C-alpha cells in the first residue's frame, strides 16, 4: 500500500475538535493571515504539506517519522477526549506523560519550528564563511578540498574577490537538509518533554466554546516587557 504523502503538521484528530460537531467529517473555518483569505475545509484537507516528514535515506522507511508521530497522536487522542468529557486534566502518570509528550511534539513539528532551525543553521554557517573569507589562502584551500571531494567540478571556479562580494551582499543562504530537519524535530521533542513534565499545568475552558487552533500550536506568553518566556516556563500554554 502506498504511503500517505499529505503530512499533517497539525494533527487531524486535533483539528477535528475545532469543527462544530467535533468530527473529521465536519468543516473548519480556515483563515490565512498572510493573504486575509478565509474558506471552509475538512480537517483532512487542512494543516498539512506534501512529504513534510518524508525521510529520504537508503534503507530507511520513508514514513518512519510519520509513524512515530502517529504513535504519539494515538497515545494522546484518548487522553484529550477524556479531558473534553470530564473537563479535567489526567491525574495518572501515563495519561500525563502521553499528553505532555504530545504537546512537546506539537512544539517541534510545525513549519515555524523548521524556520528556527534554518535560521540557526544559516547563522552558524555565515560565521563560518566569515572565517573562511578572512584570507585568499583559506578560500583557495577550501576550493581545493571541494574539488577533491567531488563537490566542485574541475572547470568551476570563483575567485576570492567574487566570492567575498557575493557573501557580503547577502547572496549566500544556508538551510538545513530535509532529513536534518526531521531528526531535529524528533530530538527536540524528546528534549522538551522533561522540561514540560516538570511544569505545573492548568486547564482553561471556554464556556462559550469559542476557540481557535493555529499552525503554531504552542504559545509562549510574553512578560510585561513584551519578551517571550522560554518553552519551559511555568506559564506555557499548549
Model confidence pLDDT, tens digit, residues 185-209: 999 999 999 999 999 899 988 887 6
pLDDT of residue 220: 60
pLDDT above 90 coverage of the chain, percent: 69
pLDDT of 92 above 70 = yes
Cell numbers 589562502: residue: 137
The set of cell numbers assigned to 101 is: 509528550
Compute the average pLDDT of residues 11-40: 92
pLDDT digits (tens, 9 = 90+) for 166-180: 999 999 999 999 999
Calpha distance 100→60 (Å, rounded) = 28
Calpha distance 57→189 (Å, rounded) = 21
Identify the burial level of 199 via C-beta atoms within 10 angstroms of its C-beta, where 0-12 means exposed, 13-18 middle and 19 or more buried: middle
pLDDT of residue 152: 81
The three-class DSSP label of residue 94 is helix
The contacts of residue 46 (CB under 8 Å, 6+ apart) are 10, 15, 28, 30
Nearest to 157 by CA among 142, 167, 172: 142
Q: Identify the band that residue 61 occupies on the pLDDT scale cut at 50, 70 and 90.
A: very high
The three-class DSSP label of residue 48 is strand
pLDDT of residue 157: 82
pLDDT of residue 9: 94
Q: Identify the band that residue 212 occupies on the pLDDT scale cut at 50, 70 and 90.
A: confident
DSSP class of residue 87 equals S
Q: Identify the band that residue 214 occupies on the pLDDT scale cut at 50, 70 and 90.
A: confident
DSSP class of residue 45 equals G
pLDDT of residue 235: 46
DSSP class of residue 228 equals B
pLDDT of 234 above 50 = no
Compute the average pLDDT of residues 112-122: 95
Which tops the pLDDT comparison, 154 or 120?
120
Compute the average pLDDT of residues 231-235: 48
Cβ–Cβ < 8 Å for 29, 40:
yes
Compute the average pLDDT of residues 138-144: 90
Measured on CA atoms in the order 175, 100, 61, 59, is the torsion positive or negative? positive
Amino acid at each position: 500500500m502506498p504511503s500517505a504523502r499529505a503530512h499533517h503538521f497539525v494533527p487531524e484528530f486535533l483539528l477535528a475538535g475545532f469543527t462544530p460537531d467535533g468530527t473529521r467529517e465536519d468543516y473548519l473555518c480556515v483563515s490565512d493571515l498572510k493573504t486575509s483569505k478565509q474558506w471552509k475545509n475538512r480537517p483532512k484537507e487542512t494543516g498539512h504539506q506534501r512529504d513534510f516528514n518524508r525521510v529520504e535515506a537508503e534503507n530507511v522507511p520513508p514514513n518512519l517519522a510519520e509513524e512515530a508521530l502517529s504513535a504519539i497522536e494515538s497515545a494522546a487522542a484518548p487522553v484529550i477526549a477524556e479531558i473534553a468529557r470530564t473537563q479535567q486534566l489526567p491525574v495518572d502518570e501515563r495519561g500525563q506523560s502521553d499528553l505532555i509528550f504530545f504537546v512537546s511534539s506539537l512544539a517541534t513539528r510545525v513549519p515555524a519550528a523548521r524556520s528556527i532551525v534554518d535560521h540557526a543553521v544559516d547563522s552558524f554557517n555565515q560565521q563560518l564563511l566569515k572565517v573562511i573569507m578572512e584570507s585568499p589562502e583559506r578560500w583557495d584551500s577550501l576550493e581545493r578540498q571541494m574539488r577533491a571531494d567531488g563537490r566542485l567540478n574541475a572547470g568551476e571556479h570563483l575567485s576570492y574577490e567574487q566570492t567575498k562580494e557575493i557573501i557580503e551582499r547577502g547572496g549566500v543562504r544556508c538551510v538545513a537538509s530535509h532529513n536534518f530537519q526531521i531528526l531535529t524535530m524528533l530530538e527536540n521533542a524528546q528534549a522538551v518533554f522533561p522540561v514540560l513534565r516538570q511544569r505545573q499545568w492548568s486547564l482553561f475552558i471556554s464556556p462559550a466554546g469559542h476557540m481557535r487552533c493555529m499552525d503554531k500550536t504552542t504559545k509562549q506568553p510574553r512578560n510585561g516587557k513584551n519578551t517571550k518566556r522560554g518553552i519551559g516556563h511555568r506559564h506555557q500554554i499548549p
